Chain A
Amino acid sequence: MSRVPLKPVAVAALCVMALGSFNAASRAADYTLNTLAEGLAFPWSLAFLPDGDILVTERDGQLRLIQNGVLQFEPVTGVPDSYVAGQGGLMDVRLHPDFEQNRLIYLSYAHGDGDANQLRVARAEYADGALTDLEVVFGAEPMKGTPVHYGARIAFMTDGKLLITSGDGFIHRERAQLLDNHFGKTVRVNDDGSVPDDNPFVGTDGALPEIWTYGHRNQQGLVVDPESGRVYLHEHGPMGGDELNIIEPGKNYGWPVATYGLDYSGARISPFQEYSGMEMPVEYWVPSIAPGGMTLYDGEAFPAWQGDIFVAALANMTVRRLDLENGEVQGQEILFADVGERFREVRTGPDGYLYLLTDSPDGRVIQVRPTGSSS
């Protein structure tokens, strides 16, 4: 039996550890955080206009404009009234893929009152700080009496169809498994709100034809990979059990039958973490990080991050970088913990920088750019 020389092994181990810490340190030093705007009331989402301006939604119902790097005092006009309560208000904003031609933007928001409210998505033409020709393209049915769990993320697929996440409304969790309602669903519509003929439940008795996937809880992250067409969705679990899923048409993502989470009381929501016929997440978090938004990084500014998913975490007050290979999570890095704020959203800018939204009554837009790059 040969003996392993301990001293060289120890030296090698120290070198590896030193190299590892150097890499971590250099990674951490690679970026600089720059506050682009502050004083925003619970900013929820942002959209980058072709001229370099940025639209930011505030949950209290305002759409704000950052023009030439300066937050404009006057909000955008023509925004639909939101039902602002609990988790509800004005939420997502997305540009139409052909925005430069049609000037259309899409907004998601809570509509109604405390007794009867719903997620709505509307589109309108945007020009010079104003919205005109507002048109509602989706309203979740039925109405509900809770101001929480709206979902409310919007994304355009590679075929130009519009995906919308609709949450379970908190007290309607079992209805996420039924196809006669929009609770806990992802819906797919044409850009005008009409239903595509190739949706999975078109022609199914008792099923709403807009439904694309079901069995979700509160999905606040939705990203389409422009290259593969793969659709990533993350959703809040209850106490534990936040999930990242790759969603495909007609499939059931388990809530509330299959979950890694527990009720806030500590009781089980279900005996099952897996269940036949229901899809498993590609990643899950126990305890919860409370994922609030997501981007698939495809910019040029951080080549090492290309193809990775970034998840903004509210409760965890970090951003998670998920190293993805062919849709599988290879590893996870915790970023921006030193900011010490809840993160609502993370987006990739056309300049290749990351943009973070912090979740507070004095919320910020933070630009993440490589150290040494010009502002």
Chain B
Amino acid sequence: MALQRLVRIIIAFVAAVVVATAVACVIGTQFVLAALTGIGVEISVSERFATTWYDLVNFGFIPSPAFGFSYALVIGIGLVIAFIAAAAMSHFLPRFRTIIYTVAGGVAIVTFLSASFFVFGVVLFAFAQTPMGLISQAAAGAAGGWIFAKYSRQETTS
């Protein structure tokens, strides 16, 4: 049973990271493209789709040559820390478990993006420089937290 539970948690975690990364990348790309259309650049649907797919693969899951890590890795590390804290809080507030994990996922990404600004002195991801961009990334983390809460829950027998 313990092994089954561990496998379920791992699968839920991987799903959370994949979903959070995908949502963060897709939204991030739309912010970048919106900034370009905002200065009069015409972008077709196919160019939009191709750019989104490119970013999803090359920004989301392949390590950047400049940073040496991928966004998925960053999100994964952030979610590990956030979910450990969420697990502790859920122990005392089991009724709010899903909300706690959801909020923890969002806070994890905001914390990383904010910390990177103070550590490196620049915004690492251009799309996260605006409040709306930052909120969109928090939403991606929250989606990951919700996925994890939903699929890692221990099934109860009646």
Q: What residues of chain A have their CB less than 8 Å away from a CB belonging to chain B? A: 86, 146-148, 170-171, 173-174, 177-178, 239, 256-257, 262-272, 275, 287
Give the chain B neighbours of A262 by CB distance below 8 A: 58
- Chain B residues close to A by CB (< 8 Å): 25, 28-29, 32-33, 35-36, 38-41, 43, 47-48, 50-51, 54-55, 58-59, 62-67, 70-71, 121-126, 129
Q: List 22 A-B contacts (CB under 8 A).
A: A86-B121, A146-B122, A148-B122, A174-B35, A174-B36, A174-B39, A239-B64, A239-B65, A256-B36, A263-B59, A264-B67, A265-B59, A265-B66, A265-B71, A267-B59, A267-B125, A268-B32, A268-B54, A271-B33, A271-B43, A272-B47, A287-B65
Number of A-B contacts (CB under 8 A): 78
Q: Are B28 and A267 in contact (CB under 8 A)?
A: yes
Known: A265-B64, A266-B58, A269-B32. A178 touches B121 (CB 8 A): no
A267 contacts B36, C-beta separation under 8 Å: no
Selected from B32, B48, B63, B121, the residue in CB contact (under 8 A) with A267 is B32
User: If A266-B62, A267-B29 touch, does A147 touch B121 (CB 8 Å cutoff)?
Assistant: yes
Which B residues lie within 8 Å of A275 (CB)?
A: 41
Given the interface contacts A265-B64, A271-B51, A275-B41, does A173 sit within 8 Å of B126 by beta carbon? yes
The answer to whether B39 touches A265, judged by C-beta atoms less than 8 angstroms apart, is: no
Complex contact B122–A257 (CB within 8 A): no
Cβ contact within 8 Å between B64 and A266: yes
Whether A171 pairs with B125 at a CB distance below 8 angstroms is no
The 3 closest A-B pairs by CB, nearest first: A267-B59, A264-B66, A266-B64
Min CB distance A117 to B, Å, is 13
Q: Quick check: B41 and A264 within 8 Å, CB to CB?
A: no
Chain A residues with Cβ below 8 Å from B124 are 264-265
**Judging by beta carbons under 8 Å apart, are A268 and B55 in contact?**
yes
Select the residue from B38, B70, B122 with max chain A CB neighbours within 10 A: B122
Of the candidates A147, A178, A264, A270, the one whose C-beta lies within 8 Å of that of B36 is: A270
The residue on B at minimum CB distance from A114 is B121
